[in-house]
Amino acid sequence: MAAGVVTGGTLAVGGIGGATHRYGVQVDNVWELQVVTGEGKLETCSKIQNRDLFEAVLAGLGQCGIIVQATIKLIVADTKARVYLLFYNDLATLTRDQRLLINDERLKRFNYVEGQVVPNGNGGWRYMLEVASFYSSTTPNDNIMLAGLNYIRGTEQIEDKSYFDFLNRLADTVAFLKSIGVWSYPHPWLNLFVPGSAVESFVGKVVSTLTLANTGQGPILLYPVNTNRFGLPLFRVPTEEIVFLFAILRTAAPPEDAVVTRMLSDNRRLFEQNRDLGGYRYPVDAIPFSQKDWQQHFRPVWGKLVSAKRRYDPNNVLTPGQGIF
């Protein structure tokens, strides 16, 4: 199935989530686009028509065109979701279980696989695996679903929700944050793709010094994806089979310039450490970046992006604020 929808924001960066281990990122599921170029022309593009524009727009950060319509792959949705929250004290045990699940595609245990770093109630941190199995009639068997996983027994939380309520589960949190005025605070997020070979050492070191003040109570995500699901050249990830999204979704609280500056500086420091390990940023974040940084980010496809920019936006009308060109 396919549908025409306007989803240009996530398509301009990639679009990652809990189902990425199975289907790739959102840009990997696009059949066709309608795009307004920097010269004001409405163009249709796909893998077989204007492919250079198609590949320059998807995960292209809005540099070569404004997406006004997308035809994307759809699947039939189930009606219910069984959601499991499983807790760990040890990072290596969490990542081992996460790797197991995303590689277990023969059984296809979970439709959704993510994870978080969460407060342990004693001023430190523990780890949470969040997984979900979608169904319409037969309820998933917990013994089968949880077989071989090494979470802390007795801490698991299992809940059945409607499929819509699962997808819309953050609505109450958003409403609460708006009601207390925090939603409008600055959010200097950090989003990194960490090589799977370095995730335990890198994330473990970061978490060992992290405090709630560093995050402003914002969530911390950590979950793996298979890079063999990715097919678009401008979506940049480490050159390993499995990489991890590590995201500190900071809130600047209080919303003062000094707090924002400190968080931005910390983001840059962690970006550089991850870059030196072969990692990348997922550019929906707040990291001070130069043109040289962008060239490094897009290497070895930088020349391809430059050619597309010259062809479709020669006057640099689109998204100049990022400083890419």
Rounded average pLDDT over 12-32: 96
5 pLDDT tier (thresholds 50, 70, 90): very low
For 282, list phi and psi in degrees, rounded to 5: -100, 110
Q: Which fold has domain 80-169?
A: Vanillyl-alcohol Oxidase; Chain A, domain 3 (3.40.462)
Other C-beta atoms within 10 Å of 300: how many? 7
CA–CA separation, 32 and 34 (whole Å): 7
1 pLDDT tier (thresholds 50, 70, 90): very low
Q: What proportion of the chain, given as a percentage, has pLDDT over 70?
A: 97
Q: Three-state DSSP class for 288?
A: coil
65 pLDDT tier (thresholds 50, 70, 90): very high
Rounded average pLDDT over 261-268: 98
Long-range contacts of 138-144 (CB under 8 A, 24+ apart): 139/82, 140/82, 144/109
Contacts of 56 (CB under 8 A, 6+ apart): 63, 64, 65, 234, 304, 305, 308, 309, 312
Q: What proportion of the chain, given as a percentage, has pLDDT over 90?
A: 94
CA-nearest of 150, 169, 94 to 125 is: 94
For 161, list phi and psi in degrees, rounded to 5: -135, 160
CA-nearest of 313, 234, 303, 289 to 66 is: 313
pLDDT in tens, 49-59: 999 999 999 99
- Given a cut of 80, is residue 8 above it in pLDDT? no
pLDDT on residue 277: 98
pLDDT in tens, 138-161: 999 999 999 999 999 999 999 999
Query: Right CATH number for 2-75+297-316 from 3.40.1190.10, 3.30.465.10, 3.40.50.300, 3.90.1200.10?
Result: 3.30.465.10
Contacts of 169 (CB under 8 A, 6+ apart): 161
pLDDT on residue 85: 98
CA-nearest of 199, 19, 26 to 114 is: 19
pLDDT on residue 9: 83
Q: Where in the chain are the domains?
A: 2-75+297-316, 80-169
CA–CA separation, 131 and 107 (whole Å): 15
Q: How many helices (H) and strands (E) are present in the chain, helices listed first?
A: 12, 12
- Given a cut of 90, is residue 195 above it in pLDDT? yes
Paired tokens of 283: 């550019």
CA–CA separation, 65 and 304 (whole Å): 15
Length in residues, the chain: 325
CA-nearest of 318, 272, 233 to 25 is: 233
pLDDT on residue 185: 97
pLDDT on residue 123: 87
pLDDT on residue 104: 76
Decide if 2-75+297-316 and 80-169 have a common fold: no
3 pLDDT tier (thresholds 50, 70, 90): very low
pLDDT on residue 77: 95
6 pLDDT tier (thresholds 50, 70, 90): very low
